[in-house]
Chain A
Amino acid sequence: MPEIFMIMFSAVLAENFIFSRFYGICPFLGVSEKPSTALGMGMAVTFVITVSSAVTWAVYYLLLEPAGLEYLKTIAFILVIAALVQFIEMFLRRYIPALYSALGIFLPLITTNCAVLGSALVNIQKGYNFIESVVFGFSAAIGFTMAITVFAGVRERLAFARPPRSFKGFPILLIAASLVAMAFSGFSGMKF
């Protein structure tokens, strides 16, 4: 049990996908204009990463490893994740329309999101078992959601700031992101 909590803690805070591993920067900068859309994106990512962690674990240990094809895991995962996201989209549309309309526009965006692929690869790299993989995927995605939502809040404040002209727009955004990332680096000192 303690290992599970350690995985959760490190995935959410100490090794936060965005601020420490720098995965999924594209949606982090692209969809963080409003906290509400950021939360929607985060929920979609959480959903997909959790499911894909389970599926990619199965693909790796039941298909690739027995065949000795570990070196092809990246390609296999991209294939599986892309198909999975499509499948989830169709499923939600049919059976859970409310969730579909909430996540709808974000789901196609994360088909090839590197955070999704990254979590699948980290699971393998660290040799997690099935439960650990799912827990890691879920908590890493929660960390992602938290990061993107927090940053959306920062960005709302940024809209009213008057930075020097040359820093306007994207540059000041990146500076703000790096400051938040530095704040998060404080968690890396916490070891158990």
Chain B
Amino acid sequence: MKTILIPVLIFILLGAAMGILLAVAARAFAMKTDERAEAITACLPGANCGGCGYAGCSALAQAISKGEASVNACTAGGAEVANQIAAIMGVEAGEQKRMRAQVMCSGANEYVKKKYLYEGVPDCAAAARSGGGENLCPNGCIGLGSCVRACPFGAITVVNGVAVVDYTRCTGCGVCTHICPKKIIRLIPFDSKHWVGCSSTDEGKRIRKYCDVGCISCKICQRNCEAGAITVNEGIAVIDYEKCTGCDVCVDKCPRKIIWSGERQGKLGLVITRTAEEPTKN
């Protein structure tokens, strides 16, 4: 009996001593932690994606509570989170649109010509430094998937040489827009139906030589858009999402078939449906 009782007693004492030590320490070393920071951390998505530019969600919460970051700094969380944080901080959140990432390139392998075959490190930044990547297009998707690896939500895949965003997973955090060496991933409003699948600012004549799906700045879309939402500027068509009514005229008129149209499906999903035919190969 004694052989069991003594160790049990000693361990109870040891455990109690440690417990008391920690309890006392917690009191003695208590920090005045900002309650708001903790409340904000609870609101944030907790994915630690880094899209806001801070080290993680708790770092952003600290910054918001100190007033260094705005309440809608978390793009991944969207309007809902911004409103919650605004309520904690006691300010107005302001309008915040839900965004999604869009790769502004349609240059799948069969549509683009290459200058050379890249056999180096499988990373977009490395390829971009080797003469701008293997594509002849200076603004085309390299397709080595740096954005795929960077995406904290696993929303990007490379399909046939072009990165494609899965809108059911994209939270609009914007990490990919920073990582892309070609800067061809952009954040566009989540609800927007159309986008121009090209980023090349080259002149039309040159683009025709190396890409079947490049914007040749023919301005047909600009002329046909009833809402005046498309402007062709510096060699690329740009949609003004404030004005776009989603009428599909540009999609039908575009001779290169690079104005894409995404149909909303269900609550979150956006499924790409081509309302026009596939571009013809030269």
Chain A residues at the B interface, C-beta cutoff of 8 Å:
59, 63, 67, 69, 72, 75-76, 79-80, 83, 86-87, 90-91, 93-95, 160, 162
Contact = CB atoms under 8 A, between A and B. Distances in A.
B29 A94 contact: yes
A93 B15 contact: no
Given A80-B14, A91-B25, 11 more contacts: A67-B7, A67-B10, A76-B14, A83-B21, A86-B22, A87-B22, A87-B25, A93-B31, A94-B28, A94-B30, A94-B31
Contacts of A94: 28-31
A93 B29 contact: yes
A162 B126 CA distance: 14
Interface in B1-27: 6-7, 10-11, 14-15, 18-19, 21-22, 25-26
5 smallest CB-CB distances across A and B, nearest first, come from A94-B29, A83-B18, A90-B29, A90-B25, A160-B121
A150 to B, nearest CB: 23
A83 B22 contact: yes
Contacts of B26: 90
13 contacts: A59-B14, A63-B10, A67-B6, A72-B11, A79-B18, A83-B19, A86-B22, A87-B22, A90-B22, A93-B31, A94-B31, A95-B29, A162-B121
B172 to A, nearest CB: 27
B14 A63 contact: yes
Contacts of A75: 11
A80 B18 contact: yes
Contacts of A63: 10, 14
Contacts of A72: 7, 11
Contacts of A86: 22, 25
Nearest to A68: B6
A80 B19 CA distance: 10
A72 B6 CA distance: 12
Nearest to B18: A83
Most chain A Cβ neighbours within 10 Å, of B7, B15, B28? B7
B41 to A, nearest CB: 14
A33 to B, nearest CB: 13
A79 B25 contact: no
Contacts of B121: 160, 162
A91 B29 CA distance: 6
Given A80-B14, A83-B22, A86-B22, A69 B29 contact: no
Contacts of A160: 121
B7 A69 contact: yes
Contacts of A162: 121-122
Nearest to B3: A68
A34 to B, nearest CB: 14
A59 B256 CA distance: 78
A69 B10 contact: yes
A63 B21 CA distance: 17
Given A72-B7, A94-B29, A94-B31, A87 B14 contact: no
Contacts of A95: 29
Given A93-B31, A94-B31, A160-B121, A87 B10 contact: no
Contacts of B25: 86-87, 90-91
Nearest to B10: A67
Contacts of B22: 83, 86-87, 90
Contacts of B31: 93-94
A79 B29 contact: no
Contacts of B21: 83, 87
B7 A79 contact: no
Given A86-B22, A93-B29, A160-B121, A79 B15 contact: yes
Given A91-B29, A93-B29, A160-B121, A79 B10 contact: no
A76 B11 contact: yes
Contacts of B15: 79
Nearest to B126: A160
Contacts of A79: 11, 14-15, 18
Interface string B24-49: 01101111000000000000000000
Contacts of B29: 90-91, 93-95
Interface string B113-155: 0000000011000000000000000000000000000000000
